[in-house]
Structures are given as C-alpha cells and as structure tokens.
Amino acid sequence: MPTIAVIDYDMGNLHSVCKGLEKTGATPKITDSPIEIEQADAVILPGVGSFDPAVQHLRSRHLETPIKQVIASGKPFLGICLGLQILFESSEEGQEPGLGILAGKVRRFKSEPGLTIPQMGWNQLQFTQLNHPLWSEITSQPWVYFVHSYYVDPTDSQVTAATVTHGHQTVTAAVGQNNLMAVQFHPEKSSTLGLQILSNFVSKVISENLALAG
C-alpha cells in the first residue's frame, strides 16, 4: 500500500488524519523531512489554527520549497482545512504571504444577522467538479464537518471543486487542479463519508503508482 507523508509543522490534527488513512489501508508517515516528503507516494498537508503561524512554521522548517516541488512533480497532494488556505497568496487573517501555489485570497465570513462565526459543525457540499476523484462513490450534497472563520476565494473559479453555503454566503469548500486537491472541511471528522473521501485519495495514489509502473 502507498506511503503517504503527513507534513508536521506544529499546526496539524495529525493523529486523526493518520488514523483515517490507516483505515483505508494506507501507510501514513508523520514527517517534516524534505527527503521523506520527496520519497513518499503522496503528501497531505493538514492544519488547524491561524494563517500567519502556519506559514511561519513551514518556512522555519524549510518546507515551502519541498511542498512546491511535490505539487509541481505531479504527485498526489491533499490539503486539509488550514492546509488549503496556506496554498493561496494571502489572507485577511494575517500579514504573511501564503505559498502562492494557487492565485487568490483567504477571506473572513462577512457578519450578518443570525450568522455564527466560525462555521462549526455539519454542512452540505455542492459539487462543482462533478468528476473529481475525491467525490467518487459519494452521493450529491453530502454532509461534512467544518470548523472555520475564513474561506478561500480563488482568482480562477474553475479550480473550485465544491462549495458550501453558510448564511447567505456561498464559498469555496474544496479545490482541484490536476494532482492538487484541498478541502476546507475535515474528512477525518466527517464519519463514514469522510473516510470514503480519504479512501478516494488513496485510490488516486494507487492508480498513479500503477500508471508510473506501467
């Protein structure tokens, strides 16, 4: 089964993600080693917390370049929650530049009467990339678990793979661009459906490996 590097930069829900991956049959490896990240079959960037500390920790561990190299190489890559947001250029949450792998900005939900910020709990996805590999064998409008006050606003709307509506605001909940996949929700906290999403990612990794071997 594939080895999946789970990047450790002191901002992650690492063990929950790893338990989810193990249930799919994958072998997760928590690491901050650029060599181990390069050698893995796929890479996951989880994250909980604030934007500025996240990118500061990544840069202090010299992980920005390895992450960009992995994505450029075509290796399957999955960002989760904050691991989605820091792929973008900047955030209203802080001053640090993001990784800039995807064009766009991270924005805070606008206040409106009766709206709870952060969005915390279960909400329904609306798929915009219907054939995205993460959505395989998942029925439309699935319920997944969110905890966030900020959302990504891509410059190119075509990278949006799913949206979610919170109050009167419909925002990007997942992105997909070639081998790069990232979600705002927590698949590791989204019960059986979340495990299916992680399993779909692992299946993508296996199919990529078979294609390379062939």
Digit-coded pLDDT (tens) for 201-212: 999 999 887 777
Domain containing 198: what range? Answer: 3-213
Closest by Cα among 82, 95, 37, 89 to 63: 37
CA distance 161 to 78: 13
Counted domains in the chain: 1
* Confidence category of residue 214, pLDDT binned at 50, 70, 90: low
Q: Kindly list the catalytic residues.
A: 81, 186, 188
pLDDT digits (tens, 9 = 90+) for 39-53: 999 999 999 999 999
Residue 12 has pLDDT above 80, yes or no: no
Q: What CATH number did the domain enclosing 59 receive?
A: 3.40.50.880
Q: Tell me how far CA of residue 74 lies from CA of 33, 177, 181, 208, in angstroms.
A: 19, 10, 11, 9
CA distance 47 to 13: 6
With contact defined as beta carbons under 8 Å apart, do 64 and 58 qualify?
A: yes
Residue whose tokens read 């605001």: 169
**Burial class of residue 61 in the structure, from the number of CB atoms within 10 Å of its CB (0-12 exposed, 13-18 middle, 19+ buried):** middle
pLDDT digits (tens, 9 = 90+) for 103-158: 999 999 999 999 999 999 999 999 999 999 999 999 999 999 999 999 999 999 99
For residue 82, the tally of other CB atoms under 10 A from its CB is: 28
**Burial class of residue 131 in the structure, from the number of CB atoms within 10 Å of its CB (0-12 exposed, 13-18 middle, 19+ buried):** exposed
* Confidence category of residue 13, pLDDT binned at 50, 70, 90: confident
What mean pLDDT, rounded, does the chain reach?
Answer: 95
Q: Tell me how far CA of residue 8 lies from CA of 39, 41, 43, 58, 75, in angstroms.
A: 16, 17, 11, 9, 18
The identity of residue 132, as a single letter, is: H
With contact defined as beta carbons under 8 Å apart, do 163 and 132 qualify?
A: no
Is the N-terminal amide bond of 142 cis, ω within 30° of 0?
no
The secondary structure of residue 41, as a DSSP letter, is S
Residue 79 has pLDDT above 70, yes or no: yes
pLDDT digits (tens, 9 = 90+) for 18-29: 999 999 989 999
